[in-house]
Amino acid sequence: MNDSQYNLMADELLLAVEEAIDECDHDIDYESAGGLLTLAFVNGTKIIINKQAPLHEIWVATKFNGHHFAYTDEQWVDKRGGDEFWQFLSNAVSVQADATVTLAAQ
């Protein structure tokens, strides 16, 4: 993947997360700026999702730890645990929102 392809795919992913948050039935705020998306929860915790263009990765920081996602086999996959991005994000958001939240690209 070249830089242009990465930037297009990463921007599409961040936009899809915003749209998924808008569609879910939970009180989660977000703020997006320059390749950085911050999800803010009622309990004061945050999840930060950001582009790492030099590495062609998406990094996700939760209140528990950080994860690096690389695009493999047509999906974003956690380099540490092997989780698919949307599955991981749904689990992380559920923990921090203290509710079951399922997020997916629309």
Please state the pTM of the whole predicted model. 0.92
Structural domain includes residue 103: no
Structural domain includes residue 105: no
Structural domain includes residue 68: yes
Structural domain includes residue 102: no
Cα angle for residues 7, 13, 15 (degrees, 5° grid): 100
Mean per-residue pLDDT of the chain? 94
pLDDT score of 37 more than 80: yes
The upper half-sphere exposure of residue 25, i.e. CA atoms within 13 Å in the direction of its Cβ, equals 3
Structural domain includes residue 106: no
Q: How far apart are CA 30 and CA 24, in angstroms?
A: 13
Structural domain includes residue 33: yes
Domain carrying residue 20:
3-97
Which domain CATH number covers 48?
Answer: 3.30.920.10
pLDDT at residue 25, as a whole number: 85
pLDDT at residue 68, as a whole number: 97
- Give the count of domains, the chain: 1
pLDDT at residue 105, as a whole number: 85
Cβ-Cβ contacts under 8 Å for 53 (sequence gap 6 or more): 3, 6, 7, 10, 35
Structural domain includes residue 104: no
Burial degree of 39 (CB within 10 A; 0-12, 13-18, 19+): buried
Structural domain includes residue 20: yes
Q: Calculate mean pLDDT across residues 55-81.
A: 94
